[in-house]
Structures are given as structure tokens and as C-alpha cells.
A and B are shown apart, each in its own frame.
Chain A
Amino acid sequence: MSWSEFPSMSKSELRGLRKSIDQGFREFAAEYGESLEKFFDPLLSFLIFSERLLLSTPWPLMIAICASIAFVGSRSWKIVIGVVVAFLVIGYLGMWADTMRTLSIITVCTAVAVAIGIPIGILMAKSDRTQTVVSPVLDVMQTMPSFVYLIPVVMLLGIGKVAGMLAVIVYALPPIVRLTNLGIREVDSDVIEAADAYGTNSWQKLTKVQLPLALPAIFAGVNQTIMLSLSMVVIASMIGVKGLGQPVLKAIQNQYFAIGLLNGFAIVALAIIFDRVSQRYGMRIQRHRQGKSDV
């Protein structure tokens, strides 16, 4: 035996190990796959509903809605004009429907990630033990190559929207959890002491002091979650999620440079819109910290 060769399991043993894991999971999938699918049925119908809603809304109305959301969020005409121009160009280049599909799944994914992530973040901030347990899980979620967990997800739920959405959420959830936790933990201890001195219970302390003061951090988390979901659309398209990702995937397989480029730019445009609007909004809600007089 030489030192250059690692003493590994024998080939047959290794094959046996892999076989038994695969076998076990296949049995699990056969047993529970259907009930899991049932469990996610409401989510699926919600996904379909939101996609149909966006697709059936007349495009001028859709642009007007997006523009007004951008205005309410950012209070900046520059950003509003940017939004309108971006959507007009996307539509003119024939990517309207795909953009709406992507917009729909991103919105739902972000909403679900926020709804799950913020409570987990709060629990983490409240207890060090929860933090030690959850942190490594978040590390795995962020660094595990998404193809790895796509396999079991597809085995359990089949190809489609729900599987794609789960893949996106697994990848996009960690920042909102981490930043909620961090935001709450970094609230000034003097202020927490004052809240205690005035006799707040833990719910009052959370809602009146900790969450409002953690809001800028939480908002940065939401922003990151949106960005990460967008970056997952191409991978999600591999398991049947329609939208801007599919043409990109097709372009990779067939070397259609122009299609890839155009759809890629549409994704970038969406990302920039989301980012600028949410960042401006985040800056506006922490205006009070800078002592500006025009409130």
C-alpha cells in the first residue's frame, strides 16, 4: 500500500451504501410523495393564480401599477421613468409574458421567504441555543450546490412550479433570517434597558422597540432575498418553472447567443428595479436617524 493512495472503501461496499440510500429515499418518495404533493396543493394553486393574474392584466395597467409601486417606494421620478422604459423595451422585444411569469414567481417566493424567515430570525435573536442550531442549517442552505437538493425535491414533488419554488426559497431564505437576527441583536443595549425599566413585556419590547429598530437590517435582508431569487430563475427553469429562465436555458443548449443575451438583460433589468426601489425605501424608513428636518 502506498501513501499516495487513500485507503477507501471497496468499490462494492461503496456501491452498496449508495444503493441503500437511494433505495431508502425512493421508498420514502413512493410512500409520502403523494401526500406531500397534496400538502403543497394550496401553494400550487396560489402560484397559478398569481401567474394568471399578472398575465391577464392589460399591459398598460401593469406598467402603471409597477410605476406607482416604484414611486411609493422610492419617491424618485428617475426610478419611475426607468421602470416604465424597462418594461416598454422588454415588451417590445417580445419578452412580456415570460417577464410576468418570472415577476409572479419572484413575488410569491419573496413573500413566503419573508413570512418564514422573519419569525425564524426573531426566534434566533431571542435564544442563543436556537442560533447555534439554525446557523449551520443556513450555511448548508446557502452553500450546498442547488443541483444537489433539486434531485430529492424533484423525486418527491415531480417537475413543476412547486419544486422550483422550493429550490428558490431554500436558496433565498438565509439572508432574511440572518439579517433579522442580526438587526434585533444589534439594537442598542441602552434602549433595551430603558424598555425594561419602563416595564415592557417581551411582546411590547419586540414590537415597539426591537423590530422597528431592526427594520433597516430586515429590509436589507428582503432586498438580498429578492436578488437571490432572481439569480435562481435559470436553475429553477431546469425543473419546469416557466419564465425568463427557460429561454436562457434553451439558449445555452442550442448556442442562441442573442436570445440568451436579451433574456439575461431582462432578468438584470428586473433585479435593478427591485434593488433600487427597495433600497430607496429602506433609506427612507431610517431617515429619522440622520436628524434631517424634512420629515
Chain B
Amino acid sequence: MSESNVKIHINNLTKIFGASPSSMLPLVEQGIGKGKLLEEHDHVLALDRVNMQLNAHSIEVIMGLSGSGKSTLVRHINRLIAPTSGSVLVDGEDVCAMSDKTLRDFRQRKTAMVFQNFALLPHRTVIDNIAFGLEVRGVGRTQLNEKSYFWLDKVGLAGLDRHYPAQLSGGMQQRVGLARALACDADILMMDEAFSALDPLIRSDMQDILLELQKDLRKTIVFITHDLDEALKIGDRIAILNQGRLVQQGSTEDILLRPADGYVRRFVADVNRTGVLRARSIMALKWQQEKAQNNAVVVQEDDTLRKVLHMMLKADSFNAVVTDEAGKAVGHIDADMVAQAVNY
């Protein structure tokens, strides 16, 4: 990944909550850890020297259980929370060094945020909620209307413009939240557990909407979640936080096939891999003629294991030839390899 593609640099970011955060810094530098700092010094170590790079135009998932510091981390990107030490650079600009005025400008133009509890303005209609970010920025009436109605349509709420948030279901409210964020036309979209409060079917719908929109938008999306399936479905890359520390950052395949430590391994143990892993990531590169002859099925590099398995079972075969887009054979998979990948 080339350096110029990095949108957000997070450098050695530490956040301590408590009576005297800065006095705790030396202890944190020595690696005291979250549990001990709380027990012995009554301070909460929310983020422990986190280094992370988030790429432009991709969905970067930050995952962790509650208390792992993921929501605190995302709030540092637009400085809703200020760090105890360390820095956040967006497009090379230090967010923590900004004046109040510059920061407001930055929040109005560069970032937009979607919240777990929607955080819509209950006294405003759907369309006025969507227009909120533009209105704050001082966008003129006609352009404001045009953009708000455009995004109202895009998230599938056409005709509900004059309703109030309380009249909508949770899923619909979050569509309003998404439209409000997208209407700002900001490079960076921050989604803090945006779909976690929705029931599973609606959540899946919203994930599809986001993926569909992202094909055209190509924004930098920082997506916070505690749900591994969600992370695997929508993330280009996943970063896993535990106790305020970054444990691993990598592609979905890195996380599933090459977990950095026992924590990540336990984390990913129960996930259904067949829908996530692709033929490319488990195939043997060596092309073995004798196996191919043995009644092999032909699959694509990008096919999921689920599809590969399905084809093998249908053809009553134990072997598959993997081809690239041009149809050229690039590797093979046999039943043992599938079994190994699934029962990591």
C-alpha cells in the first residue's frame, strides 16, 4: 500500500480518563495495561499507544468488544475527544493542533458521522434533519434542498420528507442518519456502531445499502462494530482492538487465516468462514495435472468457499481447478484444504 493512499494517520495515540491523566502517562509508557491502571491508580486507559493507518477510498473496520476503546478511537478523528498524548493526522493535517474555528470548519467539510442511537433532531422533519450539516455550513437554500432531496431518494425514503423521526422505525431513522452524513459530501464517513441497534434483517439491508453506495462514493469509511460477521461482510480491512491496544490490522483473510495472537484466534473461532474466504486465499499455487484429471470442477479465484464446496458436492468431486478472470488455471483446491481452512 503506497504512502500517498493513507488518509488518516493515528500516531501513538493514548487516551486516559481520570483525575490526572497526564501524570499517568509514564506508567502507560512502561506498559502498565488497562486493568492494573484502573485497579492501582483509578484511571481508565481507553487507548494505549495506538498506531494505525486508514486508507482512502476504503471501508476500514475498527472492531472490538465493549470497553475496547473503539468508540473513543473514532471520536479522536474529529476531536470530539482530545487525546492525552499522540496525534491524529488527516490528509497530513494535525487535528489536535487546530484552532476552534479551523476545527469547526474541518468537521463541517471533511468528516460526517453516523451514530449508534441515530442522534436525529426530534423537532425537525426528516428532510430538515438531512439538511442539518449543510445548513450549519451555510449552504444556500436551493442547493441545500436539491442535495437533501437527492439523498432522501438515495437512501430510499422518498415521500417521507415531512415526517418526524419519532414516526419512523429504527431502520428508517438510521437511513435518515446516513443521508444526513452523506449530504455533507465529506471525504470521511465515521460510523459508530451505526447498525448495531437495528434488528438483524434490517441491519443486513443497511449493510447492503452502504456497500452499494460505496461503489460510487469511494469515501474513506471508518466503521466501528463489535460484530465480526458485519466486519467481515463490509470491511476492506479490519483492525481489532483489545483493552485499548491495537491487536491486529489486516485484510479479512489475514484476520481469519493468520490471526496475530490467541485473542484474535478466539475472536474469529466461531465465524462461518465459508462465506468469507475466497478460493484465491486457500488454493495451492502449484498446478497439479493429475489432480485436475480426477473429475475436477472449475471455479473462479473470487468464488467464496461456500460456492466451491457447493460445486464440488454437486459434481461429486474432491478437486477444483481455480482460474483467473481470463480463464487461465492458476491453482487448485482439494477437499482436505477446504476442511483445514474451515476448521482453522
A residues neighboring B (CB under 8 Å):
188, 190-191, 193-194, 196-201, 204, 208-209, 212-213, 215, 288-293, 295
Contact = CB atoms under 8 A, between A and B. Distances in A.
B136 A190 contact: no
A247 B107 CA distance: 63
A215 B124 CA distance: 13
B182 interface: no
Given A197-B78, A198-B136, A288 B166 contact: yes
A191 B121 CA distance: 7
B80 A199 contact: no
The number of chain B residues touching the other chain, given as a range, is 20 to 34
A197 B107 contact: yes
B136 A204 contact: yes
Interface stretch (B27-35, B109-117, B223-231, B237-245): B109-117
10 contacts: A190-B115, A198-B107, A198-B184, A199-B105, A199-B107, A199-B136, A209-B121, A212-B124, A288-B164, A291-B166
Interface centre among A197, A201, A288, by most chain B C-beta atoms within 10 angstroms, is A197
Contact of B123 (A193, A196, A198, A288): A288
Contacts of B136: 198-200, 204, 208
A281 to B, nearest CB: 15
Contacts of A288: 122-123, 164, 166
B154 to A, nearest CB: 19
Nearest to A209: B121
Contacts of B36: none
Contacts of B163: 293, 295
Contact of B107 (A188, A196, A208, A215): A196
A197 B75 CA distance: 9
A212 B132 CA distance: 14
Contacts of A209: 121
Nearest to A190: B119
8 nearest CB pairs, A to B: A199-B107, A199-B108, A291-B166, A194-B119, A288-B164, A197-B113, A190-B119, A199-B104
A140 to B, nearest CB: 35
B258 interface: no
A193 B119 contact: yes
A200 B135 CA distance: 10
Given A193-B80, A196-B80, A291-B164, A201 B115 contact: no
Contacts of B17: none
A290 B165 CA distance: 10
| Most central of B105, B115, B121, B137 by chain A CB within 10 Å | B121
